[in-house]
């Protein structure tokens, strides 16, 4: 029989051993935190592709975000919902509604490019003229469009500025043509029926028009690097949740680079994702001129100011003195994302 002291020593050694082994055992992993929900407004067209890719490839989830993509009929609707706080993030055209909202102190701020014109490539939002007019010599160049019907999707947005820039190449302005506004798909139909003579037709509709022999794009490039659509945040949300806003931008930047580098716009994986959201056939996506997004999310400040001055001159803005660029944009979130992923 063991003495009391021996039994006590054995118990102490046993206790020390168990404690040591417990300390060496693998600490249970923390349960993943609940994903933060972020609601994002989009339109099912090519420029919103980075949002689709980030969602489908899990980039948002990697950053701890549950991003809900909320489809809307127009950029104006998205802007209104972001201002109201019903959406935290959205994208839309540079235009009067955006500038006016910012001038009135509404909680919206531009944080990154959504799409624009390639600084070194063809226009993604080209100007097209009916093919029959070109073939018959009725319209030989842009100057021959004076007094003719030319269409864009809306006034007070980037496309109005674009059209004016196109017309300048023929010594004309918007005031020299009969301006018609209609949704982009209807512009394609109107060209086909002869209801209009020319128009601004974004991809992939421009490629489709050429494929069908309806119209041809004139001039491959204009305003290289022009910013056409932008990503914006609800300013109050971003200020209260800077970490969430930064993580959103990191995921967005990953998707942008997926598309912009190594011909990512035409990779089968990305095209399949874009087709899912836009319903544009994969072969047409691959043939179209892809939207351009700077892979470091640089915002073309000069373009934003040029468009603001144009809209002021057209009387589309509710103020008379131009906003300063720092009142329009906040690059801090994009800069943090680039810092995290590295500049290329």
Residue 1 domain-assigned? no
Residue 5 domain-assigned? no
Check whether residue 239 and residue 328 sit in a common domain.
yes
Low-confidence residues of the chain: pLDDT under 50: 1-32
Number of domains in the chain: 2
Residue 147 domain-assigned? yes
- At residue 323, the pLDDT reads 98
- At residue 2, the pLDDT reads 41
Check whether residue 92 and residue 133 sit in a common domain.
no
**In what helix (H) or strand (E) does residue 112 lie, and over which residues does it extend?**
strand 108-116
Burial per residue of 85-99, b for 16 or more beta-carbon CB atoms within 10 angstroms, e otherwise? eebbbbbbbbbbbbb
Residues 157 and 164: their CA atoms lie apart, in Å, by 12
- At residue 5, the pLDDT reads 44
Q: How many residues make up the chain in this entry? A: 344
Check whether residue 99 and residue 232 sit in a common domain.
yes
Domain boundary among 217, 243, 275: 217
Check whether residue 58 and residue 138 sit in a common domain.
no
Query: Which of 234, 231, 253 has its CA nearest to residue 242?
Result: 234
Residue 41 domain-assigned? yes
Return the residue matching tokens 């969602």. 55
**CATH number of domain containing 69:** 3.40.190.10
- At residue 220, the pLDDT reads 67
Question: What is the three-class DSSP state of 117?
Answer: coil
Residue 161 domain-assigned? yes
Residue 42 domain-assigned? yes
Cβ burial, residue 36 (10 Å; 0-12/13-18/19+): middle
- pTM for this model (two decimals): 0.88
pLDDT tens digits for range 227-278: 999 999 999 999 999 999 999 999 999 999 999 999 999 999 999 999 999 9
Return the residue matching tokens 């993580």. 247
Check whether residue 112 and residue 237 sit in a common domain.
yes
Give CB contacts under 8 A, 24+ apart, made by 317-320: 317/96, 317/99, 317/100, 317/103, 318/100, 318/103, 318/104, 319/100, 319/103
Return the residue matching tokens 């609800």. 234
- At residue 222, the pLDDT reads 72
Check whether residue 93 and residue 140 sit in a common domain.
no
Check whether residue 180 and residue 280 sit in a common domain.
no
Residue 12 domain-assigned? no
Over the Cα atoms of the chain, what is R_g? 27
Residue 21 domain-assigned? no
Check whether residue 70 and residue 205 sit in a common domain.
no
Domain boundary among 217, 238, 269: 217
Q: What is the DSSP letter of 201?
A: -
Check whether residue 102 and residue 47 sit in a common domain.
yes
How far, in Å, are 71, 238, 314 from residue 83 at the CA level?
16, 12, 25
For 7-33, give the DSSP string.
HHHHHHHHHHHHHHHHHHSPPPPPPPP
- At residue 7, the pLDDT reads 44
Check whether residue 245 and residue 105 sit in a common domain.
yes
pLDDT tens digits for range 99-130: 999 999 999 999 999 999 999 989 899 999 99
Domain boundary among 217, 245, 262: 217
| Residue 180 structural domain | 127-217
Check whether residue 74 and residue 174 sit in a common domain.
no
Check whether residue 135 and residue 270 sit in a common domain.
no
Residues 268 and 18: their CA atoms lie apart, in Å, by 56
């Amino acid at each position: 029989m063991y003495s009391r002291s021996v039994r006590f020593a054995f118990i102490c050694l046993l206790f020390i051993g168990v404690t040591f082994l417990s300390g060496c055992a693998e600490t249970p992993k923390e349960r993943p935190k609940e994903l933060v929900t972020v609601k994002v407004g989009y339109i099912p067209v090519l420029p919103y592709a980075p949002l689709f890719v980030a969602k489908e490839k899990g980039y948002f989830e990697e950053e701890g975000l549950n991003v809900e993509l909320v489809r809307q009929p127009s950029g104006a609707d998205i802007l209104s919902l972001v201002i109201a706080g019903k959406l935290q993030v959205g994208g839309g055209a540079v235009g009067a509604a955006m500038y006016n909202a910012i001038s009135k102190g509404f909680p919206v701020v531009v944080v990154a490019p959504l799409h624009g014109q390639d600084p070194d490539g063809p226009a993604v939002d080209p100007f097209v003229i009916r093919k029959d007019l070109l073939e018959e010599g009725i319209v030989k160049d842009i100057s021959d469009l004076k007094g003719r019907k030319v269409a864009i999707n809306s006034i007070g947005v980037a496309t109005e500025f674009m059209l004016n820039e196109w017309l300048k190449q023929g010594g004309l302005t918007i005031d020299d043509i009969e301006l018609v506004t209609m949704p982009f798909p209807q512009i394609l139909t109107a060209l086909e029926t002869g209801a209009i003579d020319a128009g601004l037709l974004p991809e992939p509709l421009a490629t489709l028009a050429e494929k069908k022999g309806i119209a041809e794009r004139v001039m491959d490039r204009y305003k290289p690097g022009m910013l056409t659509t932008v990503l914006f945040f609800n300013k109050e949300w971003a200020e209260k949740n800077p970490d969430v806003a930064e993580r959103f931008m990191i995921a967005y930047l990953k998707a942008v680079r997926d598309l912009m580098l190594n011909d990512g716009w035409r990779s089968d994986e990305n095209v399949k994702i874009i087709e899912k959201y836009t319903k544009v056939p994969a072969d047409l996506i691959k043939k179209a001129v892809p939207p351009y997004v700077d892979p470091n999310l640089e915002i073309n400040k000069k373009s934003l100011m040029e468009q603001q001055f144009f809209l002021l001159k057209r009387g589309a803005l509710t103020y008379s003195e131009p906003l300063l660029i720092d009142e329009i944009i906040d690059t801090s979130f994009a800069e943090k994302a680039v810092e995290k992923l590295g500049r290329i």
